[in-house]
Amino acid sequence: MIASKFIPLCLAIASFVCQVNVGLAAAESKMSLQQKPFGKTAQGLPVEEFTLANGRGVTVKIVSYGAILTSVQTPDRHGKSGEITLGFDTLEPYLAGHPFFGAVCGRVANRIAGGKFTIDGRTYHLAINNGPNHLHGGNVGFDKAVWQAEPFTEAHAVGVRLTHRSPDGDEGYPGNLAVAVAYTLTDENELKIDYTATTDKATPVNLTNHTYWNLADGGVSDVLKHMLTLNADRYLPVDATLIPTGELKQVAGTPMDFTKPTALGERLNDTPGDPKGYDHCFVLNKADEHSLGLAARVEEPQSGRVMEVYTTEPAIQLYTANFLDGGIHSRGATYGQHHAFCLEAEHYPDAINQPEFPSTLLKPGETYRQTTVHRFSAK
C-alpha cells in the first residue's frame, strides 16, 4: 500500500523536476549576446559593440570605447520595453565629446581639489579640467580609452569583460594600473558591474559608472517626478567648487533627505549653488563597509519602472543633469536640464586629500574591488 502511493509520488516529483529543468533550459536559451563593429577612433582603433539580452525584455549595450554603457531597455508596467538611458547609437558623438554618458570614470571619479595630492612626501599634479579641480580622471581619462573586450556566457547570464592598462604617469597619476570591468546581465533582470584594479606603485583609485538614467522615456522629458529613496542618513556638504568640506552632515531637515520616497523635483530649487540641482555625495548606511547593500531605489510613476541600486561602495553621488542645456539631440530626444539623473556608486570625492575619509589609496600587492548591481522591475 505504501509502495503503491510512493511510486506515483516519485513520478510526480520526477515530472516536476523535469519541468523545472526544461524551464531553466528555456530561460537559458533566451539569454543572448551579440558582438559587432561600432566604428573606429581617429587613430584607427576599432571599437566593438556588445548587446546583452535576457529574453525578459531587458537589453543592454556596451561599447569598448570608454567601457561605455550606451543603452539599457527595460519593460514598463504593461510589458513594453523602452530606453531608460541617455546616449548615442553611433560612435561619432562619443568621440566628439559628451558629459560622460554611461562611461567608466577613472582613475579617480568625481573631484580632486586643486588637481593635486601627496603620497609619501611626493606631490603629484593632475589635469585641472573642472574649474580649479580635477574631475573624472582628467582630460583623457578611462572614458576615452579603447578597452580590450571579451564576451562571456554563463548558465543564467551573459556579459562582457573589459580590460585597460593605464601606464605610470597617465594623466599625472603614479604607477602602472591594470583595470578590469565586467558587465553581466542576468535572467533576473539584474545588471551587475564588477570592477578590479592592481598597481605596481601606490596610487588613488575610485571607479564608477556615469550612466544618465530616465526611467520614463530615456530623456525625452525631465525626471522631476521620479521618486527616489536613498539609504543614507548623511551627506557631504561641498564648497563653491563642489569639493567636500570634510563634514558629514545629517540629511534630516535638509533638501538632501531622501530617506523616504521623495520626488526629485520636490526640493530641487532649495539646493545650494547655480544651476539648481543635486550634485552631492551621500554616505550610505552600511554595517559592513565592504558588503553589497541597497543604496537607492527609484520609481517612475507613469511607466511603473523601478530601479534598485546595490553596491559595495561607501557612498553614492546623486547628480540631476544640472548642466544639460538642450544642446544634445539623440534618439528623438533633446537632452535638457534635469532630463536625467545619475547615481554614481563610489568612495568620497577628494578622499586622497582628506585622510578622515575612507581611503582610496591602492598599494602594490592589493586589489581594488567594487561591485554595483542595478535591479530592474515594474509595478
189 and 96 in a single domain? The answer is yes
Same domain, 237 and 132: yes
Assign residue 287 the CATH number of its domain: 2.70.98.10
Q: Is 344 a catalytic residue?
A: yes
Please tell me the pTM assigned to this model. Answer: 0.91
The dihedral sign for the CA sequence 182, 186, 189, 190 = negative
State whether 92 and 178 are in the same domain.
yes
- Same domain for 232 and 92, yes or no, is yes
Determine the pLDDT at residue 5: 38
Q: List the catalytic residue out of 210, 338, 339, 347.
A: 210
Domain count, the chain: 2
Residue 294 sits in the same domain as residue 327: yes
Question: Of 230, 182, 114, nearest to 373 (Cα)?
Answer: 182
The CA-CA-CA angle for residues 374, 242, 266, to 5°, reads 60
pLDDT tens, residue by residue, 340-379: 999 999 999 999 999 999 999 999 999 999 999 999 999 9
Q: Does residue 39 sit in the same domain as residue 25? A: no
- Listed in sequence order, the DSSP H helices in 129-237 are none
Catalytic residue, chosen from 300, 344, 346, 374, is 344
Share of the chain above pLDDT 70, in %: 92
- Tens of pLDDT, residue by residue over 235-252, are 999 999 999 999 999 999
Residue 70 has pLDDT above 70, yes or no: yes
Do 53 and 192 fall into the same domain? Answer: yes
- Whether 14 and 111 map to the same domain: the answer is no
Q: What is the mean pLDDT of residues 50-65?
A: 97
329 is catalytic: no
Residue 167: name the closest of 175, 156, 157 by CA.
Answer: 175
Phi, psi of 323 (to 5 degrees): -100, 5
85 shares its domain with 20: no
- pLDDT value of position 40: 98
Q: If DSSP states are collapsed to H, E and C, what string results for 280-298? A: EEEECCCCCCCCCEEEEEE
Residue 10, pLDDT score? 40
201-231 residue pLDDT tens: 999 999 999 999 999 999 999 999 999 999 9
State whether 280 and 359 are in the same domain. yes
- Does 38 lie in the same domain as 26? no
pLDDT for 159-180, tens place per residue? 999 999 999 999 999 999 999 9
Is the previous residue joined to 234 through a cis bond, with omega within 30 degrees of 0? no
Q: Looking at the structure, do residues 161 and 238 belong to the same domain, yes or no?
A: yes
Task: Please list, in sequence order, all residues whose beta carbon lies within 8 angstroms of the beta carbon of residue 30, skipping any fewer than 6 positions away.
Answer: 53, 54, 55, 56, 187
What is the tally of helices (H) and strands (E) in the chain? Answer: 2, 29
Its domain, for residue 43, covers: 33-378
Predicted pLDDT of residue 274: 85
Mean of pLDDT values over 51-76 = 98
